[in-house]
Amino acid sequence: MSGGVLLQQLFGSPKPIIGVIHLLPLPTSPRWGGSLQEVIERAEQEATALASGGVDGILVENFFDAPFTKGTVDPAVVSAMSLIVQRIMQMVPQPVGINVLRNDSHSAMAIAACTGAPFIRVNVLTGVVATDQGIIEGTAYELMRYRRALGTHTKVFADVLVKHSQPLSSPNLTLAIHDTIHRGLADAIIVSGWATGQPPSLADLQEARQACGDTPLFIGSGARWDNIGEILPLADGVIVCSSLKRHGQIHQPIDPIRVHQFVEAVHHYSAPKALVSSLEV
């Protein structure tokens, strides 16, 4: 299946915008507030803001559970995320994906299989990276066999040379992408900047575009309404959160106005040139 067909089937768009919900701290995390209902209500509000603003997909992350484990999260986190993902899927028509930080791809796949979520994000599918959680090794061997055992067709969107890390295996972007696609069996590739909210360089995007071939390439961080025209032509889609938040501040909730502004910018630069020209007249 070509990348364009995959994205059209999953998101109904050839260039999808995936908005991210950063869940409030979940049970057992250091900043857990004691009320799962509060977490659910915030997630519902943000899902509504993203959906009404026109995104094509939603990704749910346990972002505020930091510091993260490099291994398996607590079962309470899996239970809470399962409830929240199921609730969001009942509320909005957009496809919903899962990222269990820092790299618990097994739990993400399990949640997806049980809820019917069509995709997950995996920060380290192949290779070895040094992170603030320690040394993290790719999970492709176990994950792809687990997907087969579960009998699910959940797609795996994999970061390459992921943010907040330093590669210990291959620092070469092209080689890392080739390994992630052909040896890790990733369904889509994600390239980000060095940290949350930082965009990848144009040079990295150009190299990644060539290395991906027909495999979809997503911008994984740093996309804003004012830079999307420069970076979007090199990618097949964008995963965005920081710039959609109130005042652009990471701890604030999703701002519906900023979502609409971002989506309009993406649609403007994604439109056929003739249509864009007519809109500018």
| pLDDT score for 157 | 98
Question: C-alpha distances in angstroms, 120 versus 103, 104, 159, 165, 276?
Answer: 11, 11, 11, 20, 33
Contacts of 71 (CB under 8 A, 6+ apart): 104
User: Length of the chain, please?
Assistant: 281
Closest by Cα among 170, 188, 181, 183 to 239: 188
- With contact defined as beta carbons under 8 Å apart, do 27 and 70 qualify? no
Please, what is the Cα angle at 195 between 129 and 58, to 5 degrees? 100
Structural domains of the chain in order of their starting residue, each with its CATH number: 3-270 (3.20.20.70)
Look at the pTM and tell me if it is higher than 0.85. yes
The Cβ-side half-sphere exposure at 140, using a 13 Å CA radius, reads 19
What does the pLDDT profile of the chain (281 residues) look like in tens digits?
667 889 999 999 989 999 999 999 999 999 999 999 999 999 999 999 999 999 999 999 999 999 999 999 999 999 999 999 999 999 999 999 999 999 999 999 999 999 999 999 999 999 999 999 999 999 999 999 999 999 999 999 999 988 788 889 777 999 999 999 999 999 999 999 877 778 899 999 999 999 999 999 999 999 998 899 999 999 999 999 999 999 989 999 999 999 999 999 999 887 655 334 433 43
| pLDDT score for 277 | 43
